[in-house]
Structure 1
Amino acid sequence: MNTPKNKKILTPAQKKRKRIELVLCAVIVVSMLIVRLVLIDRGTIRTQDSALTNEELLSVLERHEVTIDEDGTTGYATILSATPGKRGKADTAVIATGRTVLENFADGTTTVKFPNASPVTGSVLASNEEAGIGIIRCEVEDQDSVYYSSNLYYQMETGTQLYFLDSTESLVPCTVQETDASVDGYTSQMTILQADNLSADDLGTVLCGRGVYSASGYYLGTIETIETDGTAVMASGADVVELVTKNQ
């Protein structure tokens, strides 16, 4: 029998084992694709380029934005992470807010009102005044961690459309005017946004702590102040995530 040179002849047992290996590889690949599709469908993971409808985006923001009430003074914050409690303990949520909100804290604690839970007491975990941000820890059940994308954050440029909630929980579109901007009172670089048609009730530091999101629902930063012409200063989401990482 003639056989090509350098060609390895497999025994029947080896051929069978080879077929089994190929089938197993195919099963693993298909299983991974199915799991990913299920997770995407459930919202556990999402693709960065999947722009949401206004209704879907509003739902995302409403789920992750909370209100801070310090002796009648209202501020806002974003749920960054929610960690399940161990051995019967309550879940722990870490939320991000702005510098002006933290300045109203008398003793390092405050009342936090979540969308689907009773008000709880939160305590300041860490802050970075130069970046205009702070994080607060609370014990609260059934909250979802926000999505953050460093890729989307660093891809922001002039004209990029972002979104946040006003004081009536309505969706506000805004556009990036400048990234890596130097702003008096902050040593970290800030992002300048332009938001039109805002109510006079939402100017100044009223919306301080509100999270700012991409069109696909990723958290990218936190509102600090809004001027009378709708110019807003946004603290860096990258700085917020770094602060959380260092203090968890």
Structure 2
Amino acid sequence: MPFDAALLSALLLVQATGGDTPTPQISVAGTGSVFTPPDVATVTWTVHGEGPTSDAALTQLNATRRAIDGGVRSLTTATPKGGNVSIRAVRSRDCNANSYGPPQLDAGACAIVGYVADLSLELRTDQVSKAGTITGLIGRLGARDPRVSSFALADPRAAQARAMAAALADARTRAETIAQGARVTLGPILYASDSGNRDTPDEIEVTGAAMALPAPPPPPPPPIDVNVAPAPIETQATARVTYRINP
């Protein structure tokens, strides 16, 4: 490949190591990227309840949550977790109360007509292939906005190590190319650093429509299988390496 003299002058660094003795060097940056199938899927959803009182809204919310928890247990041993609970009063559309105006009494157009309660939940499961099926069942059982929010690696350290090994190999190749063009011999590594690595999970969103449970319920049909084939997780690494040039 053609050799760029300007590139050589930028990458051949001469530094003093003590006294007047210079150390000729080649400094390069290598990059590496590996792909690993995800082994964790995260499903998120909201449980909703409403009623004339806050207690009634929470009672309905809990009933829906119990139904969803039972359905989830039929497909995975993972346990849904969550704690963001909100309870809001519902007023007529004719009420002009807002957070920037003067306070309003709960009377007339601003009288409270009911309450709504919402609870956000999350499920992390290692049964990645069932993530779509779980999402569909949660939607059937009354959840709002169920979705597979992300795929990830439970422990990315092995992927990071492979990406760094690839980055170091790339750095060696780059340095050897420069050394060949400069007609010098590449020596040992003087310095190497990790410039940082990152995981970029590819997200696949699978949504399920919220549906009310029939009453009285017949034997529930089996969950609808949704085949999920997530893209591999890309793990990247960059290494900055400085080699000594042999005399």
TM-score (norm 1): 0.20
Larger radius of gyration: 2
Which structure has greater strand proportion? 2
TM-score (norm 2): 0.21
For CA contacts below 8 A with separation 6 or more, give which structure has more relative contact order: 2
